Amino acid sequence: MSIVIWGLIKFIVVLLLISLYVLFMTWFDRKVLARMQNRVGPKLIGFHGLWQPLADGVKSIWKEDVMPGKAYKFMFWLAPVITITTAFAISFVIPFAPPVKTASGVVFHFSVVNLNVAILFVFAFLGLSSYGVLYAGISSGGSKYPFLGAQREGAQMISYEIVLALSLLNPILMSQSLNFETIVAAQTHHLWYAFYQPVAFVTYLIAMFAVAGKVPFDMPEAESEICCGYFVEYSGLKMGLYPFAQYVVVLVLSAIMVLMFLGGWNGPFWDGGFVAGFIWYWIKVAFFIFLFTWIWGTLPRYRYDQLMDIGWKILLPITVLNIFWTGFALTIGLPFF
């Protein structure tokens, strides 16, 4: 019974914290981009515009919710719900801090559920999240830009989730576990997996941008080509849920990157203890979240066919070969493996 109560409490806390994080991120993105582009960014509401996200949120809630006349209403309504639900679902298996051993000897996990197949869970729900986009595209009443956006999203998700999963397979093979905390523990006493698996690290980094749908791989919502793609017909709060879910996915993918490749809460120095672990962990996660914004402000967008070429012709063979190499190294027991 206490598991259920603790689970519910954690559920609500994580829900609130992630919502706060998204609000902060909209401000942070705009501020960082503004800094890169010789602009000021949001400034008027609150300290350096810190309350701007709240104002935007209120605006999007009170905006008129327009639905195309020919839209398939149930699907149109369901699509953003699927997107946001799956995004939150993934975040519930991510540990937000190192586990703590309480006085009574029980280990307290800072994730809503400490699944032993957490990575499988993540992939299952990442796969489902593309349904939100596909439904949005199909149900927009024959509108063509959402249709094209959904097409692109479908192709992109299929090709890049494979790369993402195959990249993560290497740390999984090395640690013999699908649980994040075990994988982090496996990296505690020797080098982080990024040093054993530089190739998988890079392929994951690239696939991460494609799965999150961020520049340079933001084809499904390419603003200048298909005018925001799949959510063209959405307005008000329903439209707001798509960027919201995207920010959550960015957080989750950054956290998985840190947990799988960069030693989670282990630091290069000042190691051990909850506080040190917490700080190291979030410094690393914050760097990758910042990286998304940084790349956004720097690079142009790939073309759709080029994205497919990179995924199927370059990244997929490399990741498969890398898995063979990892298996080989583990079998013959190479040093450091």
Partner 1 sequence: MSSSDIRTLELNMGPQHPSTHGVLRLVLQLNGEIIENTSPRVGYLHRGFEKMAENMSYQQFTPVTDRLSYVASMNNNLAYAIAVEKLLGVEDQIPERAQYIRVMVAELNRIASHLLWVATHALDIGAMTPYFYCFREREMIVDMFEEICGARLLYNYVRIGGVAKDITPRFMDLLKEFVKIFPDRHKEYNTLLTKNRIWLKRTKDVGVISAEDAINWGISGPALRGSGMEWDLRKKRPYAAYSELDFDVPNYPEGDVYARYLVRMDEMLQSIRILEQCIQKIPDGPVMMDDFKKITKPIKPPAGESYGYAENPTGELGFFIVSEGKNKPYRMKIRAPSFVHAYALPFMIKGSLLADVVAVIGSLDLVFGESDR
| Interface residue list for partner 1 (CB under 8 A) | 33, 36-39, 144-145, 148, 151, 215-216, 218-219, 222-227, 296-306
Contact 141, 69 (CB under 8 A): yes
- The smaller minimum CB distance to partner 1, of residues 48 and 301, is found at 301
Give the three-class secondary structure for 294: helix
- The smaller minimum CB distance to partner 1, of residues 9 and 36, is found at 36
Which of 158, 148, 305 minimizes the C-alpha distance to 228? 148
Question: CA-to-CA distance for 263 and 272, rounded, in angstroms?
Answer: 13
- The smaller minimum CB distance to partner 1, of residues 145 and 196, is found at 145
DSSP state of 92: T
Question: CA-to-CA distance for 237 and 62, rounded, in angstroms?
Answer: 8
Question: Minimum distance between the CB of residue 76 and partner 1, rounded to whole angstroms?
Answer: 21
Question: How many CB atoms are closer than 10 A to CB 297?
Answer: 14
Question: Minimum distance between the CB of residue 28 and partner 1, rounded to whole angstroms?
Answer: 16
Question: Minimum distance between the CB of residue 212 and partner 1, rounded to whole angstroms?
Answer: 15
Question: Minimum distance between the CB of residue 45 and partner 1, rounded to whole angstroms?
Answer: 22
- The smaller minimum CB distance to partner 1, of residues 181 and 218, is found at 218
DSSP state of 222: -
Question: Minimum distance between the CB of residue 54 and partner 1, rounded to whole angstroms?
Answer: 25
DSSP state of 273: S
Contact 136, 76 (CB under 8 A): yes
- The smaller minimum CB distance to partner 1, of residues 147 and 193, is found at 147
